[in-house]
Amino acid sequence: MCVGCLVITWLLATLMGYNAGETAGLLAGAQTISAVIGVAEDTINGLNIASSQKSDMINIIPVAYAVTYIFGTAGSAWVLSSLGPKMLGGLEKVKAACKELETRMGTSEADEPGFEQARRPVVFRAYRIENDWFGNGKTVDQLESYFISQGKRLFVERMRHRASIVNDIIPGQLLQKGDEVVLSGRREFAIGEEDWIGEEIVDPQLLDFPV
């Protein structure tokens, strides 16, 4: 690419009959490389030519640079966004190729900072106990054992008994009708428990705990 930029600039300058100053300005502006200006000035000053010629060449460098810099910036953007994709088969083809490259290199949106999947495998849901199965009360251990017998791994994380929230759940903790419990487990296990335990509730206070 670097060699191509240099050769193309030299060919165009030769075709147009540019002198060293105009050619340097063309290269600096078209490639947006302002460092070329300083290098060109030093090089021209070292040439074995008349001082007036050196002055003319050096003075024309910023003019050529200013004219071609516009295309060096705006033109590059147009080539990359419009002409380039057309040369590669169209924008849709380029997008598909980029997606394929991302997949092959193992990069995806999931690797981006702050990315979070909408579907979480483990959920926390709150229910009000209404089922007669609880009778005069069942322990947390009995309820979790029942879930396991049904092929579901659900756990009691928190509960409210008579307006008091219990944070530290133990296996022997008694659960009664009217109590409210927070169950945790895989989404597919938790869905539908409102048909057995009781109504699912939206309780910001009961569900406000670290996980």
Tell whether 84 and 176 lie within a shared domain. Answer: no
More confident residue, 70 or 132: 132
Residue 138, domain extent: 122-201
User: Which residue among 49, 78, 104 closes a domain?
Assistant: 104
Which two three-digit tokens encode residue 65?
Answer: 């640079």
Calculate the alpha carbon distances from 167 to 119, 143, 173, 190, 205 in Å: 26, 17, 11, 20, 12
- Spatial separation of the C-alpha atoms in residues 52 and 56, rounded to whole Å: 6
The percentage of the chain sitting over the pLDDT mark of 90, rounded to a whole number, equals 41
pTM above 0.75, yes or no: no
User: Which residue among 104, 130, 154 closes a domain?
Assistant: 104
User: Which residue among 42, 72, 104 closes a domain?
Assistant: 104
Domain assignment present for 114 = no
* Tens-place pLDDT, residues 91-117: 888 888 888 887 787 756 666 677 777
Domain assignment present for 115 = no
Domain assignment present for 207 = no
Tell whether 6 and 100 lie within a shared domain. Answer: yes
Q: Which residues contact 31 (CB under 8 A, 6 or more apart)?
A: 5, 9, 72
Domain assignment present for 163 = yes
Domain assignment present for 58 = yes
Residue identified by tokens 């990315």 is 115
Tell whether 135 and 93 lie within a shared domain. Answer: no
What pLDDT score does 108 carry? 62
- Spatial separation of the C-alpha atoms in residues 89 and 78, rounded to whole Å: 16
**What is the domain-level CATH number for residue 185?**
3.30.70.1450
Amino acid found at 176: Q
Q: Which residues contact 159 (CB under 8 A, 6 or more apart)?
A: 165, 166, 169, 173, 175, 179, 180, 181, 182
Other C-beta atoms closer than 10 Å to the C-beta of 41 total: 17
Label residue 170 by pLDDT band (50, 70, 90).
very high
Tell whether 99 and 15 lie within a shared domain. Answer: yes
- Spatial separation of the C-alpha atoms in residues 108 and 13, rounded to whole Å: 45
Specify the number of domains making up the chain: 2
SS3 of residue 36 by DSSP: helix
Tell whether 95 and 127 lie within a shared domain. Answer: no
